Amino acid sequence: MRRLALGLLVALLAGTSAAQAPGGPVAPFVDPAGAYLFAHMTKEHYGALYYSVSLDGLHWTRLNGGAPVSADYHGHASIARGGDGRYYLVGNKGDDDALIRFWVRTICCDGRRSAPTGPI
Q: Which amino acid appears at position 97 of this protein?
A: D
Of residues 85 and 19, which shows the higher confidence score? 85
Report residue 61's pLDDT band, with 50, 70 and 90 as the boundaries. very high
Of residues 3 and 35, which shows the higher confidence score? 35
Mean pLDDT of the chain: 74
CA–CA distance, 88 with 70 (Å, rounded to integer): 15
SS3 per residue for 98-114: CCCEEEEECCCCCCCCC
Q: Which pTM was predicted?
A: 0.58
- pLDDT tens readout for residues 5-28: 444 444 444 444 445 567 766 776
